[in-house]
Amino acid sequence: MSTKLGWSRVFEVADKGLGTLNRLGFETINLAEEKLLEAACKATGLYDFGDKRFREGFSVLIKAYRKEAELSPLGKIVTRADTLRLLSNRLQLVENRKRIPAIAKETFEDPIVIIGLPRCGTTFLHRLLGQDPANRVPLTWETMIPSPESLQPKRTNETAPRIQKVAQRLKWFGRLAPEYRKIHRTVTNYPQECISILSHSFQSVRFHRTHFVPSYWRWLHQSDNRFAYREHRAFLQHLQYFQAGNQSKRWILKTPAHTFFVEALLEVYPAARFIQTHREPITALASNASQIKMLRKVFSHSPKKSEAGRIVKDWSKALDRLTNIRQKIGEERFLDLHYSEVASEPMAIVRKIYDYFGFELKPEQEARMKQFCLLQPKGKYGVHSYTPTELGFNWKEHGPAFDSYRERFNIPSKSS
């Protein structure tokens, strides 16, 4: 069937069939909070979810899924599966920590955190730095399924089943969103950004990216995100205890979303140092809006009006707040990089990073990074086509919100 029709057609037929059942009164997918919790417990045989503060975000999110996201029948299936994965992971993480107290004793160096506007080369930079084994990065497969098959420490020969499971899940997602790889290609053994880790606390920008959940987005910015970052640290301790061959304790972390919550991050990682990437804001945010639009199509058929005004307001406030934080904790803790430099001279940027933070770049690791760059040509998986105006961004209306940011970091308007 798939060979003849193509996966998009297969999913379309399945979606219509599920929709018909719903209209006939058959509840095919249950997104009730208690039912989801019960299903995760049944799947794992575990019942302790740990710190109960996760329940607030979980509750707000599930209500937003049901009342705002306008999930398609197929979108409900994918959303439920993802929610159960996070809940099951949470149960297993708590159980692992109870059975192995040494996990909580893991220590590591103060992390280097890549932040800034989205779509500024942060993913490429994170993956590039991850080519050096001296840099520990969270990998996609271990953030999606963090608990190993064996609870023996530092085992490297039992990771294949987890990697295979994650690879299969990513393959299915690729079928659901075939165009997404033009924007952001997710690979099992590539570095993953921290929104995937924070998702386990149910305080993460990730849910906003994949679903239209404005009530959750408002709650997230009003909540105490220190809880999420404490759980983030515990997650890193877990990954480090069960490290897959990488003995380094120098973590390189990344997500533009950290920009919103730097105060909370600093409460948990008080000596963290930062790489902040820069790009013309309207161009960057329009690219991000296009990415979000493509992701949400997986879960909902209902197009939403432009969120450009809200996006500009959120990010202009976040960048202004970050400027104040930088002045308070010391500008020397921040290395500023421009997107154009990262894209055009990646190895020069790597050497700049290593010099700034006092790291040693060994010849063999530099060679690995150069090889990685050669395998990442722009447009390899297709061209990401969009224009800011079609996404609701207006240079005249929205551009002035970032005037002080452009001036501070010497960013020409309307450049890419």
Residue at 42 is within a domain: yes
pLDDT tens sequence across 172-208: 766 766 665 555 566 778 899 999 999 999 999 999 9
Residue at 21 is within a domain: no
For the chain, the distance separating the N- and C-terminal CA atoms, rounded to the nearest angstrom, is 43
Residue at 339 is within a domain: yes
Instruction: Output phi, psi for 142, to 5 deg.
Output: -85, -20
Nearest to 65 by CA among 246, 267, 243, 213: 213
**Would you state the pLDDT for residue 248?**
76
**Would you state the pLDDT for residue 153?**
54
pLDDT tens sequence across 267-284: 999 999 999 999 999 999
Residue at 22 is within a domain: no
In order of 115, 267, 270, 323, 328, the CA distances from 262 in angstroms are: 9, 9, 10, 11, 12
DSSP 117: S
**Which tokens is 403 given?**
């005037």
In order of 108, 131, 224, 227, 260, the CA distances from 264 in angstroms are: 19, 29, 8, 8, 9
CA angle 377/344/311 to nearest 5° reads: 90
Q: What is the pLDDT along the chain (416 residues), one digit of tens a residue?
A: 444 446 455 444 444 544 544 554 445 578 999 999 999 999 999 999 999 999 999 999 999 999 999 998 888 988 999 999 999 999 999 999 999 999 999 998 889 999 999 989 999 999 999 999 999 999 999 999 999 876 665 544 456 788 888 888 878 766 766 665 555 566 778 899 999 999 999 999 999 999 999 999 999 999 999 999 999 999 999 999 987 556 678 999 999 999 999 999 999 999 999 999 999 999 999 988 888 888 888 888 877 777 889 999 999 999 999 999 999 999 999 999 999 999 999 999 999 999 999 999 999 999 999 999 998 766 555 556 678 888 888 888 999 999 999 999 999 876 44
Residue at 152 is within a domain: yes
Element (H, E) at 78: helix 73-99
**Which tokens is 211 given?**
């679903």
Number of domains in the chain: 1
What is the distance between the alpha carbons of residues 193 and 191, in angstroms, rounded to a whole number? 7
Residue at 8 is within a domain: no
The answer to whether 94 touches 48, Cβ cutoff 8 Å, is yes
Provide the domain limits for residue 128: 31-409
| Residue 44, domain CATH | 3.40.50.300
The answer to whether 406 touches 300, Cβ cutoff 8 Å, is no
**Would you state the pLDDT for residue 405?**
95
Please count the other Cβ atoms lying within 10 Å of the Cβ belonging to residue 4: 7
**Which tokens is 237 given?**
């301790």
The answer to whether 331 touches 109, Cβ cutoff 8 Å, is no
**Would you state the pLDDT for residue 184?**
52
pTM (2 d.p.): 0.89
Residue 96, SS3?
Answer: helix
Residue at 25 is within a domain: no
Residue at 20 is within a domain: no
